[in-house]
Each structure stands twice: as structure tokens, then as C-alpha cells.
Structure 1
Amino acid sequence: MPPHFVELKKEIAASYPNFQERVTKAWTSLLAELAEETDLIAKEGTSVRLLLLFVIRVSALISICTPQIIPQVQFSEIASLKPEVVDTIKRRGCVVIKDVVDDSEAAGWKSSLEKYIKENPTVPGFPAEDKQFFQLYWTRPQVQARAHPNVLATSTWLNQMYHVKGNTTLEGVDLSTPLTYADRFRIRHPGVQWDVHPPHVDGGSIERWQDETFRTCFADILAGDFQKHDPYDLEGRVNARSSLYGRPGQSTVLRTFQGWLALSETAPTEGTLKVFPDVLLSNAYIILRPFFTAKSTPVTSNPLDAENWEYNISTSDFPGIFPRDGGFTGPRPNPNSHPHMRLDETMTSVPKVKPGDMVFWHCDVVHSVEQEHTGKGDSAVMYIPAVPYTPQNAAYVQKQKDTFLASVPPPDFPKHEGEATYAGGGRETDVVSAVGRVAMGLPIAVA
């Protein structure tokens, strides 16, 4: 990392009274809580993995192997969930929402996407020899899915999990008006090894520490009071700069939750999403990790023991952050850089989904994609996050609208010639509902 990041650490340390003393005490408490929580997560994951091995050939029994630590709810029930269920979703930072879209409609979108790819064999995607992840944004199924009333209602419900401390309001923010962020889709084939999405966090890399506004989202952690950290406090996030370096593929908008819509049945071990299901502790650990290093001479035999770690701001390292494309990528925690997360044991696969189900994870949640796909069918999803109406997001949507009308990649994504020459692309007339058109920045009346 650049040498001047030593000064960034010193700047942060100088911003909080008694920083070294308070974060050292917090670090010790945090590691104790992480030890308990990772034991719980690992135990849950181990029981699921063992059961999967036992019944892997009995598809009718796969449903009993779903990790219960990840909440599952019905779309029809989201408006009436008990507060304790919502609290669990917020702490885990992830949720599976069943039956958001009718099965047949979602399966039909997959068929349409497959037809689109077949009719346009030069569409960009990877791997080049067997394309499965597509750099496409404006196919008709994608445009229709983002504008689907149930998808937008789900986005609104998730956005409204956020709040401002003291129940005050923020100028120009409307959590009841969802916006659309155009992203891509995948149709992953069985039997293919996939190692391009290891554990990581999107929506801001070194910016989490470097941008002063973004840093306020983690002020309680940096003040040594990580238990008070609220991942759903909206205030600092509204104007946070998550892309200081203009790196292609780095989101510049606030996505309260990232998400995807299932277009096929996918179960654990079949190329699905994995998460570290505790957004509070993972945030605290990732934010404090740059200020601590392992002692060269261990005090105890347990490398995870807090006694074997010490406060240190003399290096420029921000573990899990890496230079890339003129900017930085990450956080990408791994067992070496973030050992206390025990990622080899705690990254948990989401439960089985079917077409029309949606999976969402908080914008700070550590997530990955399973390397193996042991199933018999495709693992197909459209990426559709939850995006609230904020001045910064609305400004992006206006620029995104222009790229939609021109059939070129959205502003945050790598540039290529676009999709205008491909047959079967989405058009403005495919966005019919008023809420869908507002979400896309289009005039309410269809031209």
C-alpha cells in the first residue's frame, strides 16, 4: 500500500480521544465476541455440510440441509413480520425472500436470456470459451425484472430498515421511493470451478477509512464502542464517497442491500452465494484490523488470542485492501489477513432457492460465490440491489437513464461498444408501471 497511508492511520488515531487505549480494549472484547459467534456459525455450517454429504444424492431431502442461521421469509409476509424477525435479519445482514416473482415468469426470463445469448453470440462475458457471467445490462428480461412491482416493493421494504439517529429526516432522502441500479446476470453451468469471487465486501474499499464522511459510518467502532455501531444508520452513508479513484466496476451509489433474483433452482454446493452472517462483528473487525498486528513473539500458543496482537500504526497496510486499476479493491478478508473470522468455517451458503426467490445481503456483508457447482442444472441469477432515493443516487439514475436509452454500459461499469446492435434488447416501452419508470428516471407517461 502507498506509504502515505501511514499518515491516514495517524490522522484517524488523532481524531478520537485516547484512541490507542480505547481501541485496544475494544479489540480484546471484539475478539472474545468473535470467538463465540464464529463457534456458533461454524457449528451451524458444519452440521449442514455433514448432512449434505449424507443426502447429496437424494434431491428430495436437500431442503432439510438449509442453514437456519440465514433468515427466510415469504414476500407476502414482509410487511407484517414480527419485530424480532426483522431484528434477526438486520443482525445477520442477509435474508432470503421467497416468491417475490411468480416461478413461471422468472423461469421465462431465463429462457429469454438464453435465447438472447444464442442469437447474439458475440455478447461480452466470461470465461471467453464458455460464457456464463455476462457483461449485459439492458436485455428485455433485465429491464422487466427491475421494474417488476414486487421487486420494487421488496427494495422499498429493505430500504426502510435504515434510519437516522433521533428519527430526524435527511433532505432529499425518500426511503419509500426505490431506484433501479442496472447490473449484470449469470447463468453458471454445473461442474465448472469458479474462483473469481472469494470473500469480499463491495460498495467502497479504502474509502471506508479515507473518505471522512464514509468514515463516520464507523465512528462508534473507531471510538472504541463497537457494540453501539449501527450498520443501518443512514446519515453518513447518504453522502459517502465510495469511489474516490474512479476505478471501473466500483459502485458510486448507496445500495442498502445487494441482491439477486433467482432464475433457477439452486441449493448449497450448487454455485450459490455464501455470506459471513454477522454484519455488526464483521464491520467492527474489518475496520479495526488495520490498527493491530500479530506480535513477532507470541505470548500464548493460540495465534487468535488477543494477547498475541498489539496496537500498531507504523505500517501502511490495510489488510484485505489491494491496489487495482488505479484505485483499490476490497475489503477482501482471507484466513491470513483476518484469521479471527475463521472464514474457512464460517462462510455460509444461502438456503435453497427456486425461480422468483430473491436473496439480499447488507452492503457491508462479507460475501462470496461457491467455488464448486455440484448440481445438475444451471445456477442462474439477475443481480438486482435495493437502492433508496437520495440526491446522489437520483443523480446517478439520470446518467444511467441516458446509457439505457443509448444501450451502452451504465456509468459505474467498464465501457464497451454496448448492446444497441444486438437483437432483443430492452426498450423504454418495456417499463410500464409508474413506480418502475420513476425508479429508472423515466417520465411517468410512456411515450
Structure 2
Amino acid sequence: MSSNKTLEQQIIAAKRDLRGRIPDLDARFAEETERLRIEVAAVQSEMRSGHAIVDLDFADIQAGTISDETRQRIRRRGVVVVRNVFDATRVAGWNETLMRYATDNDYLTKQAEKAGLDNYFGGLASGKPQIYGLYWSRPQMEARQSEELADVRSWLNHLWHQPTEGAPEFDPDRECMYADRIRQREPGDASLGLSPHIDGGSVERWLDPSFHQVYRDVLFGEPAAFDPFNAQFRTGTKEIPSPAVCQMFRTYQGWTALTRQGPGDGTLNVVPIARSAPWLILRALLDDVAEDDLCRAKPGRALGLFKEFHDLLMQAYVPIPEVNPGDTVWWHPDVVHGVENEHRGSGYSNVMYIGAAPDCDKNRRFLELLRPAFEAGKSSPDFAPEDYEVDFKNRFELRDLTPLGRKQLGYN
């Protein structure tokens, strides 16, 4: 992307270029729309008869008893709940420790002093959810370096298809640690939702050739051949640097539940359709979208969805099923997700954000930035430099890493 042009000029040039290179744009969009209509109807039907999101038990992953049919359903829906990954008693201790960690270190006062540093979600309709900029607490680090999550992420990573020729895109059995934040949402909160969006790239999905490679079948080849779980070219994308724009390749975003939560509790909603990005990308190239616009996408921000452009996709926007402490939720990086505006439940809705970022060149480069931040107690390099934890008591430190944790952080 050229820095010598304004963003509007870059968008105009990119759209003209893509329209000129894409054969039969209208026909491709019509084809993709029909596929999406089928998936939306299927999600609605599955919600009426049960739930569209795949639900597994960690013990079945460990026992190797997950069927091929279930694996294919995960690849279709792009979202899965893996239950009972951690013992409920252990998780209750983590939740208590996290809340005490924030309170004992006067986090909320310090957060108020640094309000406005993180604007990643600023362009979305509902503002920012109750997310705490904490990265290095003992519960977060113990979960990240746990054998349990290592097993879950390895199993999930193997659902991706590696290139048939050349080197694999990533090592599914080795994780690079990614430090994300936590959510502690109080019951009764009605102000801190997050409207539907996709992370991992906004305007660059149209402007940068690295993303064109990922969606090459949809744009230039045979659309039916597109596979959202095809790993080829995924680790080579170039995102616009910005606080909270992930510099790593994540096979899945995810979180670990610290409390019971479900529909109405101010928690996660998703569009459980793994193949949704092709429709979104083609949608922005149609004639009813202004020449210098990409359906209101903004650089350095989450890629938002809006009713005026994306109503069809939003018809499949559903809440996750009820989860309990120790359950985990995982979603494909192209899956649309958001957070309910209101927490109408009676208890805290708390999670630790922990996704899957397998070993690859891109992720190892990020570890070079992450290790010094960890050692100093500074914010993860992907986020605004709030650096709350530099002087926090009871912060997790280098000496607390297990051999697996050291490996995940690239110390050995």
C-alpha cells in the first residue's frame, strides 16, 4: 500500500484494479450470495432444533473419538465449544485471583487515567466491552502454558489443510504464545457491547496483494474451490499496524470461561459460517458502494458489519450456548463475532482471551517483541502501551515459566 496516496485514492485504485481483474464480478457475487443463503437457512434451522455451534468435550478429544463428520461440521461452522478443559475448582481460583489482582493493584483507577489510548473498536456501534488491559497475571499465564490448552489447540490446528506442495504453513503441534486480555463484565451492565466484526485486517483485505492470495479462488479462480481452512498464504498477510491489530497469525480466536455465562449474559455472539469472508469481500466491490468506500471499513480498526450492506449475513448472528467455568470457545479468524450490548444475568461474565497462534515465521517474529514486554510487565506489543502491570504485585515472572511456557515464548 502506497503511503504517497490518501486512503481514498488507494481504495479507488484497488477497487478499479480488482474489478478489472475479476472475471464476471456480478455473477461471482450472485453465486456467493446463493451459497450464503443456504448457510444462513441452515444456521437458522439448526438453532430451532438445537444449536448451530459444534459442542465437544475435552475428554473426547483426548480419547481420539471425535468423528470425521464432526470435524467437517466444525470446518463448516467455524465455531466450536470445547467443554471441561479445566477443572471448575481450579478455574474458580483463577477467577478470584484475577479479580483480586486487579483490585489490589488499583487497576480501575489507573485505567481511568489512561482512557482513550485504545481506539481499535472506536468505529463500531457499541463502543468497547468491559475488557481489562491485563496480560501477565498468574491465571492467564498458567492457562496459556497449560498442557490442556496445548492439547486442544494442537487438535484444532490439525483441522486446517496444509499446502499440498512445499513447506507447511505452520507447525500445528507447537504454539507461539499470544498475550491477550481479560473480560470482567458486571451484571446489569448495559453500555459496553461490541457490534459484529472480524479481526485480522480491514481495508487491507482489498488493498494488499497478500490478502488477494488468501482469497484467490474467489477473486480470480474457481469460487467453489475456496476453503476457509486452507492454510496456504495465511501466514503471509500484511496488516496495517495499529494498537490492538493482531500481528500474529491465529488459527482461532478464543477464550476460556471463568464464570457461567450464556445468552443474555453480555457475552459472545457469532455468525457460525466459516465461509463468510468471500461474500464480504465481493460485496464491497459492487456498484452500490461508493467508489472510495469499502462498506465503511476503516484502517487499523476491526472490520465492522453494517445492516445497510450486510443484512443477509446478520440473519445468522446467534448467541453462543451456555458455558461453564473451564469451558472454552474457539472461532475461525474469518468468523463474524461481537458482544451483546446488555448483561441481563445475575453474575459476572468473565473470560480470559486465549486463542491459537501456531509456530510459523510470522509468529516467531512477534515473539521477539513479546518477550521483552513480558519481562518488563508492559502491555502486549499488539495493544495500546498502557503498561499497567510494570509495578503490579504478584505478576507472573520469567522464573514461573514451565518448560512448555518457555518454548511457547521462544526462549528455547
Relative to the length of structure 2, the TM-score reads 0.89
Deviations 1:180-237 (A, max 9, x none): 1000001111111144411000011112122212221111111263322111111211
Please say if 1:206 is aligned against 2:189.
no
Q: Quick one: which amino acid aligns to residue 331 of structure 1?
A: L
Backbone CA RMSD of aligned residues: 2.1
Deviates more, 1:259-268 or 1:115-124: 115-124
Deviations 1:314-354 (A, max 9, x none): 712111412xxxx342321121121222x1x4211111111
Q: How does 1:225-374 map to 2 (within 5 A)?
A: 225-241=222-238, 243-244=239-240, 246-280=241-275, 282-294=276-288, 315-322=291-298, 327-341=299-313, 343=314, 345-374=315-344
Deviation at 1:44, TM superposition (A): 4.5
Please say if 1:8 is aligned against 2:14.
yes
> Identity percentage over the alignment?
31
Task: Determine if contact 2:256/2:353 at 8 Å carries over to the other structure.
Answer: yes
Instruction: Show the counterpart of 2:95.
Output: 110
Instruction: Show the counterpart of 1:219.
Output: 216
Deviation at 1:361, TM superposition (A): 0.3
Deviation at 1:430, TM superposition (A): 2.4
Change (3 A) 1:262 1:122: closer
Q: Quick one: which amino acid aligns to residue 53 of structure 2?
A: I
Q: Quick one: distance in 2 between partners of 1:154 and 1:178?
A: 11
Instruction: Show the counterpart of 1:60.
Output: none
Q: Quick one: distance in 2 between partners of 1:256 and 1:37?
A: 22
Change (3 A) 1:189 1:153: same
Instruction: Show the counterpart of 2:72.
Output: 87
Q: Quick one: distance in 2 between partners of 1:338 and 1:195?
A: 23
Deviates more, 1:206-215 or 1:368-377: 206-215
Instruction: Show the counterpart of 1:441.
Output: 410
Deviations 1:9-54 (A, max 9, x none): 12223444xx2x2x22122222223233323323554x48xxxxxx
Deviation at 1:442, TM superposition (A): 2.7
Q: Quick one: distance in 1 between partners of 2:353 and 2:381?
A: 16
Change (3 A) 1:436 1:367: same
Secondary structure at 1:95 match in 2: strand
Contiguous gaps of at least 5 residues in structure 1: 49-66, 295-311
Q: Quick one: distance in 1 between partners of 2:82 and 2:367?
A: 25
Q: Quick one: distance in 2 between partners of 1:140 and 1:76?
A: 25
Q: How does 1:91-102 map to 2 (within 5 A)?
A: 91-102=76-87
Instruction: Show the counterpart of 1:74.
Output: 57
Relative to the length of structure 1, the TM-score reads 0.82
Say which one has the larger Rg: 1
Change (3 A) 1:266 1:238: same
Change (3 A) 1:225 1:330: farther
Secondary structure at 1:291 match in 2: coil
Q: Quick one: which amino acid aligns to residue 410 of structure 2?
A: G
Change (3 A) 1:195 1:224: farther
Instruction: Show the counterpart of 2:168.
Output: 170
Deviations 1:38-90 (A, max 9, x none): 23323554x48xxxxxxxxxxxxxxxxxx521000011212431111001001
Q: How many residues align?
A: 389
Deviations 1:364-400 (A, max 9, x none): 1000011121111111000001011001101211220
Q: Quick one: distance in 1 between partners of 2:286 and 2:19?
A: 12
Q: Quick one: which amino acid aligns to residue 38 of structure 1?
A: V
Instruction: Show the counterpart of 1:300.
Output: none
Deviation at 1:100, TM superposition (A): 0.8
Deviations 1:127-150 (A, max 9, x none): 97xx94211111111111111110
Deviation at 1:277, TM superposition (A): 0.9
Deviation at 1:163, TM superposition (A): 2.3
Deviation at 1:106, TM superposition (A): 1.2
Q: Quick one: distance in 2 between partners of 1:414 and 1:36?
A: 40
Q: Quick one: distance in 1 between partners of 2:192 and 2:346?
A: 19
Q: Quick one: distance in 2 between partners of 1:76 and 1:419?
A: 35
Q: Quick one: distance in 1 between partners of 2:408 and 2:191?
A: 33
Q: Quick one: distance in 2 between partners of 1:283 and 1:104?
A: 39
Instruction: Show the counterpart of 1:309.
Output: none
Secondary structure at 1:256 match in 2: coil
